[in-house]
Structure 1
Amino acid sequence: MPEDISDLIEKINQEGIRAAEEKARLIESAAQQKADAILNQAKIEVEEMISAAHERIRREDERERALLAQAGRDLLLTLREEINAMLKRIVVADTRQALTPEVISGLLTELIRNYSTAERTEVIVMVNGNDLELLEKHYLNRLRKETERDISLRQRGDIQGGFTISFDGGRSSYDFSDRALAEYIVSCLKPKLKKILQGEVED
């Protein structure tokens, strides 16, 4: 009998140990699975964070490139505007200097001679005050004689150089002022200037 009890106790102990070991294995397996799941989730989150960071960097880089490109375009536009304004000032000044009373008299002679009209109305020429005085003093009589037309010289305050001329008594006129001529000259120069600014002109 004592041996039977001893065997029973031994058997119970062995079964308890096996049960404990099995439970420990189950706990260890569950813990490992949970740890693996946590690691996998952490890996996914890290990859997502890295991907988001790369995307943010890419967007910032694109935004900076766009800002730099826009700044370059704005600078070029400002440069073109300043160069065009400077060109116009230079052309206006040179045109004004070139339109002396003698030159104006020659232009008027050719214009009036070559203007074909059935009407013989008064020809009205508008000039600035200084040119008016010199033209009346030195050129008006010769103009009338050479063109055989009734010519009237008048002062116009907004003309600094050149003249306007009307062949129909003032109902309409042609503008040969320094600014009008400069506008025409600049409009002819702008396409060439644009090519120069764009670097498209061949040496």
Structure 2
Amino acid sequence: MSENLKALLEKINREGIHSGEEKAKAIEDKAKKDAEKILRDTRKLADEIVQKAKAEAEKTKINANLSIKQASRDLLLGLKEDIRKTLNKIVAGEITKALSNEEITGILANLIEKYADKNGKTEDIKILVNKTDLDKIKHTFISKLKDKIKAGVEFKPSQNINAGFSISFDKGKSYFDFSDEGLLETLCVYLNPELAKIIK
């Protein structure tokens, strides 16, 4: 009986060990599979994070380049505008210097004499000048013109004229603008495209 018991114990022991080994192997296999899955998932997640980071870095780089280009463009436009304004100030200053009372009266006398020589009626002529310079220009103008031309020319003050004059040959229905602002506008129409060519 003791041999039977011994054999039985050995059988139970073998079957228990075998069963335990199988369970241990199953647990180990499952743990390996779980570990491999975790590793695959981790690698996949890491790859996704890296790809997302690369995409964000590329997007940031593109946005930075666009911002730099926009800032450069804005700087150039601002510089061009500053140059244009400076040129306009210089031209305006030169126009104002050139439009002295003596120059204005000389130009007016010449215009009106030529107009009268072509049978123009001097009584149709109206001249607008700066209020401050009106008396000086009128006095100098009258002394330069012949008597027949003096008659009918009408001088009026204008608050809108700083220097220069506006002249009408149709009793004030329309005016030719030779004021500082009118001449500046006319010159800038020509100068600004030329300036644009230079600073391109």
Q: Is the 8 A contact 1:123 1:149 kept in 2?
A: no
Q: Is the 8 A contact 2:122 2:153 kept in 1?
A: no
Q: 1:12-31 alignment to 2 at 5 Å?
A: 12-31=12-31
Q: 1:1-203 alignment to 2 at 5 Å?
A: 2-112=2-112, 113-114=114-115, 121-145=123-147, 150-198=152-200
CA spacing shift, 1:144–1:35, aligned 2, 3 Å: farther
Shift of 1:134: 3.0
CA spacing shift, 1:35–1:117, aligned 2, 3 Å: farther
Q: Is the 8 A contact 2:108 2:141 kept in 1?
A: no
Whole-Å Cα distance in 2 between the matches of residues 144 and 169 of structure 1? 21
CA spacing shift, 1:33–1:117, aligned 2, 3 Å: farther
CA spacing shift, 1:138–1:111, aligned 2, 3 Å: closer
Cα deviation code 1:17-67 (max 9, x no counterpart): 222111111110000000111111111111212222222222222223222
TM-score by length of 2: 0.83
- Greater CA drift, 118-127 or 189-198: 118-127
Whole-Å Cα distance in 2 between the matches of residues 3 and 117 of structure 1? 157
Once the two structures are aligned, what percentage of the paired residues are identical? 34
Q: Is the 8 A contact 2:131 2:157 kept in 1?
A: yes
Whole-Å Cα distance in 1 between the matches of residues 167 and 84 of structure 2? 28
CA spacing shift, 1:163–1:120, aligned 2, 3 Å: closer
Whole-Å Cα distance in 2 between the matches of residues 150 and 159 of structure 1? 22
Amino acid at match of 2:158: R
CA spacing shift, 1:99–1:146, aligned 2, 3 Å: farther
Q: Is the 8 A contact 1:109 1:146 kept in 2?
A: no
Amino acid at match of 2:49: M
Shift of 1:121: 4.1
Aligned residues: 198
